[in-house]
Amino acid sequence: MAKETSIRVCMGPGGIASGGEEVLRAFGRELKKSNVKAALKKGCSMHHVGCMGLCARDVLVEVVLNGKTYTYQYVTPDMVSTIVSKHVVGGKPIKEWLVDDSYVNFIKKQTKVVLSDCGRINPESLDAYIAVGGYEATRSVLKSKTPEDTIEIIKESGLRGRGGAGFPTGRKWEFCRAVESDRKYIICNADEGDPGAFMDRALLEGNPHAVLEGMIIGAYAIGADSGYVYIRAEYPLAVERLRLALKHAKKKKLLGRNILGSGFNFDIKIKLGAGAFVCGESTALMYSIEGKRGMPRITPPRSTEAGLWGKPTVLNNVETLANIPYIIRNGANWFASFGKGKSKGTKVFALTGKIKNSGLIEVPMGISLRKIVYDIGGGIEEDKKLKAVQTGGPSGGCIPASMIDINVDYESLAKVGSIVGSGGMIVLDEDDCMVNVAKYFLQFTQSESCGKCVPCRVGTKRLLEIMERITSGRGKTSDLALLEKLGNDVKSASLCGLGQAAPNPILSTIKYFREEYEVHIAGRCPSKVCKELLTYSIIEELCKGCCACLRACSSGAITGEKKKPHRIDQSLCVKCGACFEVCKFKSVDRE
């Protein structure tokens, strides 16, 4: 087999943000040059791919030469001509630009199932997906499996909903299959809204056909003839690639009437979400598709009985659906061989925060948190001390560093007051203030509450007010008990998952970092994050009277003559920290 020379440029969210488009254009220009063309007799293919994973080192570029893959990191357009001339043409990799061992570890320690083709294939090419086995699962299901067989495979695989709730996918399909109806729907929930989470986005941008294939198989299994992808409009590239994928799939008769000559009809529509977090909740999402206000309703009836337009509906998350073709292709046992206990398969996480290798990772369920943070993540930035890992986004909780050996699966995380959630994983270090982190997430859920039920609408607002009180020096000793009482009541009394989970960040941080709250109430932020609790003062013995702080102070709070110690008038100080930043003699004290 002829060894193909090819170049892959990461154009996932991180890649594009780091200038992937410019790098891609630079490669295009370079490869068109006559001397390069002449040198590359067999030619060289170049394409953009979805997220490669290690977003922190974008733009990542892979050069495949003589069957070997070389990965360049931090590529900028001006490096491109050198890479082409020395490596692609000259055959000599530029070692100092290549990724180091930590990247190799980052990749090696992961288990890629659903992401296995993401970052490798051109997401805008149906042929590229087919070349790696795409739509084989569809073909085999439509040709040789009954819907019941298909459901059985998914049940056996142990796949559970990757959107956060972890409901067994096969059972959900089975419920819907069992309901008699003239019409059924399958919906892909791509309304990914957790702050810091981009798993679904990366999948849709990196391998949209896998999601479509999952939907086709799901539709066949439950007996649906139409489907919707509910995707947030803030993901324009994902929408564009999804539209393109739909177009290509229809052209190849993989969607529409009589798919692959099997007599099965199924089509997919895209519905853009308008930016409401609560529309990720299944019933609110369906109302939103119907053109109504996105407000959750009380279940039962479950969506599998009466969902979209009152018809039986299965709603699966992007990652859940993208897993389907791989399970069908490789078998239920293969999938179930990953993971632990009741949590089978792999899970994609968006690893962010104070971690060296921030990016998109896929690991087997049940892996220890330590392995994620230290082996894959490469440890804490600047080798600082790990304080906690926040999982599950605004609905999740904080796992303290002392529990670093916990297994990351549905049951284990729930036991310690957090959740797997959709896959956000934020690493916090010693400089992070846990009270502030909890406040941040609450701010998010509070403003995203739909307003329907009282505990969530007013309760989260009051919780936030108490948090604001505590972080601004107005906290009362009774506030901690009040937070716990109200937090638990909001959890118990709220209508949907948003309100029921909204107090989690607070409750879990109180559980594990109680003393941090107490110190705040006493008027101090130990991590020096909560601005209003800080006092800036000048240590006279260290001050050289250079006037740098005086010039930097925008509120006129600093006075002093040249070469004499300066002073800060606390009544004028707005605690912006400019003096602290600018002082070269460490004479500004922040306490």
Partner 1 sequence: MINLTIDGKNVIAGKDMTVLDAARRAGISIPTLCHHPKLTSFGGCRLCLVEIEGIPRPVTSCTTLVGENMVVKTSTPHIVELRKTILELLLSDHPNDCMVCEKAGDCTLQDLAYYYGISENPYEGERRTYETRDGNPFIERDMEKCILCSRCVKVCDEVQGVGAIDFAYRGFQSKICPPFERDLDCEFCGQCVAVCPTGALTGKLWAHKGRQKNVNKVDTVCTYCGTGCNLTLHVKNNDIIRVDSAMSTWNEGWLCAKGRFGYSFVSSPDRLKTPLIKKRGKFKEVSWDEALDFTASKLKNIIKKHGADSVGGLSSARCTTEENYLFQKFIRAAVGTNNVDHCARL
List the structure tokens of 218. Answer: 């799901």
Least distance to partner 1 from the beta carbon of 166, Å? 16
Selection from 55, 92, 89 nearest residue 73 by Cα: 55
| Residue 451 or 556 with smaller CB distance to partner 1 | 451
Q: How many CA atoms lie within 13 A of 536 on its CB side?
A: 28
Q: Between 23 and 463, name the residue whose CB sits nearer to partner 1.
A: 463
Secondary structure of 361-383 in the HEC alphabet? Answer: EEEECCCEHHHHHHHHCCCEHHH
**Whole-number Å distance between alpha carbons of 566 and 254:** 74
Q: How far is the CB of 446 from partner 1 (least distance, A)?
A: 6
Give whichever of 476 and 551 is closer to partner 1, judged by the CB atom: 476
> In angstroms, what is the minimal distance from the CB of 424 to partner 1?
21
Which of residues 322 and 490 has its CB atom nearest to partner 1 in the complex?
490
Buried b (16+ CB within 10 A) or exposed e, 24-50: bebbeebbeeeebeeeeeeebebbbbb
Q: Which is nearer to partner 1, 33 or 461 (CB)?
A: 461
Cβ at position 179, least distance to partner 1 in Å: 18
Q: How far is the CB of 493 from partner 1 (least distance, A)?
A: 5
In eight-state DSSP terms, residue 309 is G
The distance of closest approach from Cβ of residue 394 to partner 1 in the complex, given in angstroms and rounded to an integer, is 13
Cβ 287 to partner 1, closest distance in Å? 12
Minimum CB separation of residue 490 from partner 1 in Å reads: 8
Choose between 100 and 465: whose C-beta lies nearer to partner 1. Answer: 465
- Cβ contact 201:13 at 8 Å: yes
Comparing CB distances to partner 1, the nearer of 341 and 451 is 451
- Residue 523 CB, nearest distance to partner 1 (Å)? 21
Write down the least CB distance from residue 340 to partner 1, Å: 24
Give the integer Cα–Cα distance in Å for 296 and 497: 9
- Identify which of residues 227 and 455 has a Cβ nearer to partner 1 in the complex: 455
Strand partners for 256? 266
Distance, CA of 67 to CA of 182 (rounded, Å):
52
SS3 call for 535: coil
Task: Please say which residue, 53 or 499, places its beta carbon nearer to partner 1.
Answer: 499
Task: Pinpoint the alpha helices (H) of 179-235.
Answer: 199-206, 208-222
C-beta of 454 vs 574, nearer to partner 1:
454
Q: Which helix (H) or strand (E) holds 389?
A: strand 386-391
Asked if residues 356 and 392 have their Cβ atoms less than 8 Å apart, the reply is no
Q: Which is nearer to partner 1, 10 or 495 (CB)?
A: 495
Task: Closer to partner 1 by CB, 170 or 499: give it.
Answer: 499
Residues that bind partner 1 (CB under 8 A): 276, 278, 293, 295, 297-298, 446-455, 457-462, 465, 482, 485-486, 489, 492-495, 500
Rounded to whole angstroms, the Cα distance separating 198 from 192 reads 7
Give 417-471 as a DSSP string.
T---TTSEEEEEETT--HHHHHHHHHHHHHHH--S-SHIIIIIHHHHHHHHHHHH
Alpha helical stretches, state H, 207-300: 208-222, 236-251, 282-289
Residue 479 Cβ vs partner 1, minimum distance, rounded to whole Å: 10
3-state secondary structure of 62: strand
- Beta strand 267-273 pairing with 226-232: parallel
* CA-wise closest residue to 164 among 140, 142, 204, 191: 191
Task: Report d(CA 86, CA 258) in Å as an integer.
Answer: 51
Minimum gap (Å) between residue 180 Cβ and partner 1: 20
Asked if residues 535 and 562 have their Cβ atoms less than 8 Å apart, the reply is no
Q: Which is nearer to partner 1, 30 or 448 (CB)?
A: 448
| Length of the chain (residues) | 591
- Cα–Cα distance measured from residue 433 to residue 526, given in angstroms and rounded to the nearest whole number: 8
Cα torsion angle, 569, 570, 573, 576, sign: positive
Nearer to partner 1, 274 or 522 (CB): 274
- Residue 329 Cβ vs partner 1, minimum distance, rounded to whole Å: 38
**Paired sense of beta strands 558-559 and 536-538, if any:** unpaired
Closest to partner 1 by CB, 29 vs 491, is 491
Which one-letter DSSP state was computed for residue 266? B
User: Smallest distance from the beta carbon of 500 to partner 1, in angstroms?
Assistant: 8
Give backbone dihedrals phi and psi of 355, rounded to 5 degrees, phi first. -125, 145
Q: How far is the CB of 489 from partner 1 (least distance, A)?
A: 4
